[in-house]
Amino acid sequence: MVVLTAMPNYPQMRIYEGYRGKFYAYEEIEGIPVHRCWIYAGTSKSIVPRLVNYFSFVKSSFLVGLFKCSRQDFIFCESPPLFLGITAWLLSLIKRAKLIFNVSDLWPESAEKLGLVTNPFLIKISTILEEFLYRNSVMVTGQTQGIVKNISGRFPAKKVHWLKNGVDIDELNNIPDDPVWRIKNGFQPDDFILLYAGILGHAQGLEVILRAAKMLENLPNVQFIIVGSGPVREQLIAMTKEMNLSNLHFFDNMPKREVIPVIRASDVALIPLRKLDLFKGAIPSKIFENLALHKPVLLGVEGEAKELIVEKGQAGWAFDPENAADLAAKITYLSENRILLKEAGDHGYDFLGQEFDLDRVALEFLDILHNNS
């Protein structure tokens, strides 16, 4: 197994210290060879810098993959970024490897519906590329059943597999706790803490948290924490100041080992998305870390995630996406019935082990690869 990836820069979109100024870097992580190559990183939202970002990596990854990476039986390409499929397809031809195209987000459909890409020509070209890559892959994998259904409906002859997101439950639970995290950060033992930890992006619709926090100002023990960085972070902070919210607290993006104690110190994980049909087939990956730590979720997502996590897994509760009044009502109820939290957290942990344990997901996919080798 060999990994070909960019210089680390996400989510700040700035190359990490120690990697700056390099076109190529090699390292081994847990015995796996990792080849890193240059990428243009920038925070601009305009289309030209974003295209430069995408295609800088397309070019550099092709050169590094061609000259530095050994031949493999399969090339597993992650999308988005969709344009990386150009590199993967070319390398699969040159190195005579089978291309597996893994779709974590339908692109350009999601970018178009979120208003992130509005140029008709770019949308058309991206759609042509998307369909070309599906046709020229030996297999397409999708992160959710909704993605799989979408692609299978358009390409009924194509082999499409649901490759679940998974989590290493033991690894997360072996990360040390900080039992006094609440006290060190100014929270009280009886505070009811709701946590959002993840990318602060356009898709999440995080404004709903701010509006619900405003509605619950009269409940002093209800506190909100937002951890992470992303394109809407400064906007959310500005809104918080304008709304004069004293019950909402921002923390910078943290490494996994530091965010785990925050999850443990919280009572409920908040997981919202915008109210779009597009997201009815989405399962936000941040769900799994919380379930692995016995934390129930308050899910503002319709469709597949709600059916799996809330209805089947009984791991939490759902609120109507972007509906602050519904979110505030659910929070009020849970803050007054905290005895329900442990039961939902335990249900989620058990469900995660049955359906989304990383080792089980990996072994199932390995069997599929053996059958296609």
Q: What pLDDT shows up at residue 47?
A: 65
pLDDT bucket at 314, cuts 50 / 70 / 90: very high
Segment 118-139 shows an average pLDDT of 90
* Span of 43-47, 194-198, 226-230, 252-256 with lowest mean pLDDT: 43-47
pLDDT bucket at 19, cuts 50 / 70 / 90: confident
Percent of the chain with pLDDT over 70: 97
Say which CATH architecture domain 169-355 belongs to: 3-Layer(aba) Sandwich (3.40)
In Å, how far are 65, 135, 160, 261, 291 from 373, measured between CA atoms? 21, 18, 16, 42, 35
Q: Where in the chain is the domain with CATH 3.40.50.2000?
A: 3-167+358-372, 169-355
Burial 335-344 (b: 16+ CB within 10 A, else e): beeeeebeeb
* Superfamily for the 3-167+358-372 domain: Glycogen Phosphorylase B; (3.40.50.2000)
Distance CA 74, CA 112 (A): 31
| pTM for the predicted model, two decimal places | 0.82
The distance of Cα 250 from the centroid of its chain, to the nearest Å, equals: 19
Greatest extent of the chain over all pairs of C-alpha atoms, in Å: 64
Percent of the chain with pLDDT over 90: 62
Closest by CA position to 33, among listed 5, 8, 12: 5
Mean pLDDT of all residues belonging to the chain: 90
pLDDT in tens, 152-165: 999 998 999 999 88
